[in-house]
Structure 1
Amino acid sequence: MLRATAIGLSVAVVITAGAGWWFYQHLNGNIHSVSLDGKGGTEKADAFGRTPINILVMGSDGRTSKTDCKLGGGCSATGVQTGSNADVQMVLHISADRSNATVMSIPRDTMTKVPACKDSESGQSTPGYYGQVNSALQYGPACQVDTVHRLTGIPIDHFVKLDFSGVVKMSDAVGGVSVCVSDDVYDTYSHLKLSEGTHTLKGVAALEFVRSRHGFGDGSDLGRTVSQHIFLSAMIRKFKSAGTLTDPTAVYKLADAGTKALTVDDGLGSVKKLISLADDVNKVPTDRITFATMQTAPDPADSDRVVVGPGAKSLFATIADDQSLTTGPGKKSAVASDTAKPRPTATVSTVPPSGIAVTVENGTGITGRASVIATALTGQGFGSATTTNAPSPATGTTLTYGTGQGAEARTVAKALGLPSSHLKRGSGTGLTLVVGSDWPGGSSYPGASTASPAPADTKAAVSHAHASTADQAKTCAKVSPYKTVTLDGVPMTPSQAYAAARKKPDSDA
């Protein structure tokens, strides 16, 4: 919902910006922006000097106003609350040449390391901890951006945040979004109630749909990301269809509601900047916008949580390396190949840079060499890099790794341009990089290849990622066949709940 909202707002601003200086200033005044404090990493330009754009789109579960308390519930005992979690997280990637885009959802139940953070607005801080990825928003949007950057290794340039009331305002302003459900569904938690078939959802009904995690798929957050992609695809098609943005009254309503509903980073904090973003997004056709959900595996320590799974590393790499998951006309895309028939998942390293710690020792005698390399590693999303002086001077640089950590060592070596001949297996544990006199300056090993990295495996990237493209208009959200909801204390399937609650009006009634 949020990613399409940001796109829709931006498209609307393109049309409305010419309506007059007063209107322009009015919309600028609506926008609330927050600094990223230098978090998120930096994009690399392609051979033509063009850079991709990566935006973290967040849906907040905050009950920070009476309106959001009413919409989200849960305030009966506490009243209006402070703080929020990022229950929806999507990385929107727009390619450097603006020919394609990828939207990757990160399930809120993913466990990861949250770095040390301090919210510039509330002052709330943390020294860092291991927990759910969505919890980082409690320490500000910049902390959430930094956490996702470290988890995935993907540079994040911007963010867009929307709360419950913002979703309602935006869906009302756009005039509703058409979605299809595969069966009767009643999610007694989000309160979504719809009969089998196609419906146009506005306001609260739209919020109920995008919040429903018990109504679709397996009744978890993983199923919810798929139904959200269906909703967003429909919204994108509506924005791009003839007539949606040609009515001046509708355009004003959409732009005014959107700028009031969103919190963005300083880089998107003006109508002019949103116009530029809208122009970039509009260049991408719907059949080249790919939706995917980060692959996960069960958390060994908690069956109700997940960790980064096989294939996710390839998905992260396609985004970070600006690779398309779709192709031009007449060619078969990775998405089409994946949905055609299942394939066994290849065995790959499941440890992303955020899970790798490195000890960097300075063996050069040059002050600050270890710090330069450590900063380069953390800047690329590695979990931590501690520094110290080597026990004795070193003429050659070596990266020593413990048993079972060869894949991690290769990941570090690739990030630094260090040849594999400098890697050696040790008798201890952990990764130790000794910087020798053969590496007197810079953060990349001398003579490191400047050629483009080997392309990521796009088939592995979309395998088990529930990938789809925005042009798939006939896709229905799959109602869960499991007993994921409870009505009057009785567990039942969402379809059984629908039949048992005949007197309750449907959400789109």
Structure 2
Amino acid sequence: MTEQSNGAGRIRGRGKRRKKPTTARRAATVAAGSAAGLALLGASGLGFAYFKINGNLQGVDINQRLGTDRPKNLDNGSMDILVLGSDSRSGGNSAYGVDEGAARSDTAMVVHVHQGHKKASVVSIPRDTLIERPECTDGKGTAVAGAQRAMFNTAYEVGGPACAVKTVEKMSGIRMDHYIEVDFSGFKKLIDELGGVEITTTRAIDDTKSRLHLEPGTHTLDGEQSLGLVRTRKSVGDGSDLGRIQLQQAFMKAFIQQVKDVGVFSSPKKMLDLADAATKAITPDSELDSVGELMGFAQGLDRLGADDVRMVTMPVEYDPQNPNRVVPLKADARTVWRALKQDRPIPASALEDSAGDKGEAAGVVRSERPTAAVKGD
């Protein structure tokens, strides 16, 4: 269970950094792109829809839980969002297996929206990365001890959203402005309301575990198939989490383009249905847990298209002690985080030695609408 916000001390989201933050989460791409439809609600005059959709949102108060032990919040016009996909099997997600302990973060992306909000850099953090997990406090206020060589996704498992945010902030030195969590069942419904996402596979995907079976060619994936794609691991590439990340990134490019093409302006009902599904799919931080706050957030992102988003994996290498795990390439990872902190493009040189963003998985799935590469320095 995630901690529910009491709503105290909220600041309206404006889609930019704040000089003085309050004391009181598949990419920002899934939630942010979907939330753009919410911006239409005010203009539509559908007051009843506002209250219905507003009731879908339940936030988690990250700021209150973390207090002041956080990186400095820089006022340079950029914005950083931690997006997590939870692998909980509770509720509507029970069809995907039985929990082995608490839920963990199945997907993690740091979305950096550059100054001017015309470009974004997305850094995926492999769930199997061995890291130094800091001490944190869980959703019930109980202290959780830190750990050495802990898998990254255990931060969410032992301490919930606030611990995941604290772990990312300690790794990166960057303060997260927002947190958005997406669950399995909500993700499926969102894709179905969107009308599916069009992709092209260059070879067959046959993955029993993720329940995805696709022949080579062009497909419009429904929600179930989309979820299967972003969970596919064993049947593509080397079967590692790094290959799965490449599939997720390719899918998110196609998703962003689909959101742009969906035509909600010409269909109020489609807009309403999409907004309803999006707000049911996410758990945001307490500064984004109302329609009004999401409207401001979405308006700051609505100029971003698939060509404007560069997606990379945090520089890692396979752990010499355990080939099923990866460890950060510390110097290269610092270069990546420093570039984002300084609101600069990620240098290509920082990714050259990484085990991520390599292998055949990247070429298995592509959008039917090819996008231009966005290069670093």
What TM-score, normalized to structure 1? 0.61
In structure 2, the residue matched to 1:291 is 311
Displacement, 1:218? 1.6
Instruction: Give the corresponding residue for 1:54.
Output: 80
**Which 5+ residue runs of structure 2 have no aligned equivalent?**
1-25, 372-377
The 10-residue stretch of structure 1 (204-213 or 22-31) with the greater mean CA deviation from structure 2: 22-31
Q: What is the percentage of aligned positions where both structures have the same residue?
A: 33
Aligned partner of 2:357 in structure 1 is: 466
d(CA) in 1 for partners of 2:134 and 2:342?
24
Q: Secondary structure of the residue that 1:44 maps to in structure 2? A: coil
Residue of structure 2 aligned with 1:89, choices 84, 105, 108: 108
Is 1:322 aligned to 2:343, yes or no?
A: yes
**Distance in 2 between the 1:306 and 1:462 partners?**
15
Which of 6, 16, 30 is the aligned partner of 1:5?
30
Q: Distance in 1 between matches of 2:93 and 2:367?
A: 32
Separation in structure 1 between the aligned mates of residue 320 and residue 351 of structure 2, nearest angstrom? 24
Shift of 1:472: 8.6
> Could you list the per-position Cα deviations for residues 391-435 of structure 1 after superposition, in whole angstroms to 9, with x for gaps in the alignment?
xxxxxxxxxxxxxxxxxxxxxxxxxxxxxxxxxxxxxxxxxxxxx
2-side partners of 1:461 and 1:73: how far apart? 38
Instruction: Give the corresponding residue for 1:135.
Output: 154
Cα distance change of structure 1 residues 242 and 84 upon mapping to structure 2, 3 Å threshold:
closer
Alignment partner, residue 14 of structure 2? none
- Listed one character per residue, the Cα deviations across residues 165-208 of structure 1 (whole Å, up to 9, x for unaligned) are 11111111111001122211101211211001111111211110
Q: Secondary structure at the match of 1:225?
A: helix
User: Residues 146-171 of structure 1, C-alpha deviation per residue, up to 9 Å, x if partnerless?
Assistant: 00111122221111111111111111
Letter in 2 for 1:4: T
2:93 pairs, out of 26, 51, 68, with 68
Deviations 1:103-153 (A, max 9, x none): 110000001111112223x45541111210111112110100000111122
The aligned runs of 1:94-493 (5 Å cut-off) are 94-120=113-139, 122-123=140-141, 125-130=143-148, 131-138=150-157, 139-241=159-261, 243-309=263-329, 311-325=332-346, 458-463=347-352, 464=354, 466=357, 473-474=369-370
AA in 2 matched with 1:193:
H
One-letter code of the match for 2:216?
E
**Corresponding residue number in structure 2 for 1:23:** 49
Q: CA deviation at 1:2?
A: 4.2
User: Which residue of structure 2 aligns with residue 487 of structure 1?
Assistant: none
AA at the equivalent of 1:198: T
The 1-side partners of 2:306 and 2:72 are apart by 27
Q: Which amino acid aligns with 2:345?
A: S
**Residues 190 and 277 in structure 2, CA contact (< 8 A), matched pair in contact too:** yes
Once the two structures are TM-superposed, the CA of residue 87 in structure 1 deviates from its matched residue by 1.1
Contact 1:2 1:59 in 2 (8 A): no
What is the deviation of 1:301? Answer: 2.5
For 1:107 and 1:226, the matched residues in 2 are separated by 11
Letter in 1 for 2:274: L
Counterpart CA distance in 1 for 2:74 and 2:141 is: 32
Q: CA deviation at 1:90?
A: 0.3
Deviations 1:318-368 (A, max 9, x none): 11111135xxxxxxxxxxxxxxxxxxxxxxxxxxxxxxxxxxxxxxxxxxx
- Measured at CA, do residues 172 and 23 of structure 1 come closer, stay the same or move farther in structure 2, by a change above 3 Å? same
CA positional deviation for 1:97:
2.1
Say which SS state the counterpart of residue 89 (structure 1) adopts. Answer: strand
CA distance in 2, matches of 1:253, 1:55: 25
Q: Are residues 242 and 256 of structure 1, via their aligned partners in 2, closer, same or farther at CA, if it must alter by over 3 Å? A: closer
Structure 1 vs Structure 2 CA RMSD: 2.2
Contact 1:105/1:292 (CA < 8 Å) preserved in 2? yes
Pick closer, same or farther for the CA change 1:170–1:125 going to 2, 3 Å. farther
Q: In the TM superposition, what is the alpha-carbon distance from 1:83 to its structure 2 partner?
A: 2.4
Matched residue, 2:18: none
Measured after TM superposition, the shift of residue 9 of structure 1 is 2.3
- 2:189–2:277 CA contact under 8 A, matched in 1: yes
Judge conservation of contact 1:238–1:244 (CA < 8 Å) in 2.
Answer: no
Relative to 1, partners in 2 of residues 1:224 and 1:244: Cα closer, same or farther, differing over 3 Å? farther
Identify which of structures 1 and 2 has the higher relative contact order when contacts are C-alpha pairs closer than 8 Å and 6+ apart: 2
Count of matched residue positions in the alignment of Structure 1 and Structure 2: 330
* Structure 2 CA distance for partners of 1:22 and 1:244, relative to 1, 3 Å: closer
Instruction: Give the distance between the partners of 2:87 and 2:306, measured in 1 at CA.
Output: 29
